Amino acid sequence: MTSLLNLAALDQSGAIQETAEAAGATRADFFKRTGIATAGLVAAGTMFDGLLSPAAAAISSKPSKANDVKILNYALTLEYLEAEFYNQAVTANALQMWQVKNFALVVAGHEGAHVRLLQAVLGSAAVKKPTFDFGDAITNEAKFVATAQILEDTGVAAYAGQGPNIFQRPVVKAALSIHSVEARHASWIRLIANQKPAPAVVDEPKTEKQVLSAVAGTGFIKG
């Protein structure tokens, strides 16, 4: 699985890294420009444009190299969220069902690999990882399963929503290599939750605004 997530193969020309380095859009830069403090709980819908779209403006529907950096940082923050959720659940060691524990362990590894790939692609332009508070969603098994389903379904829709906005082929390749794995995660957790693994013939992609609203609703991300 992780052998597919190879930076050299995905960005053979180095175009993504060059664009990222030129953009130099960091989360700290965003907060400095906008005057938003990083401390304290992030209120739903008020600071997520900064956390998940660290460049000066939100993701544009007009493809460009600079926009690709925004999309990659948007994806990276979602991957930070997922990776930390599963890592904390594994560390807490409170999940009881073997199927659920195994899911958490395997997916934690996948999401960590996704984070490392995106960080490597973005280099110094990568946003920093926010802090998280998952409450009892990492220890209460029913809440863990429900939360995992929300995160995975949202992740799949987020990648699909940004597909048409990607400008560079290596970025498309990177996004697709992650998107298909996220879709498998979503099907897997749906099976565990005794739901249809593929509930629709065609999935609806989600816009950045829709994804930010869903993530904000969890209340997990802090500054």
Residue spans of the domains in the chain: they are 12-222
Whole-number pLDDT of residue 21: 53
DSSP-derived 3-state class of residue 120: helix
Residue 22 has pLDDT above 60, yes or no: no
Assess contact for 36 and 50: CB atoms under 8 A. Answer: yes
C-alpha span between 26 and 100 (Å, rounded): 35
**Which tokens belong to 69?**
């950096």
Mean pLDDT of 153-178: 89
12-222 in CATH: which number? Answer: 1.20.1260.10
pLDDT band at 35 (very low <50, low <70, confident <90, very high): very low
Pairing verdict, β 221-222 and 131-132: antiparallel
Average pLDDT, rounded, for the chain: 78
C-alpha span between 66 and 137 (Å, rounded): 36
Cβ neighbours of residue 154 under 8 Å, at least 6 residues apart?
78, 206, 211, 214, 215
Give Cα separations from 34 to 29, 44, 51, 200 (angstroms): 9, 17, 12, 40
This prediction's pTM: 0.75
pLDDT band at 193 (very low <50, low <70, confident <90, very high): very high
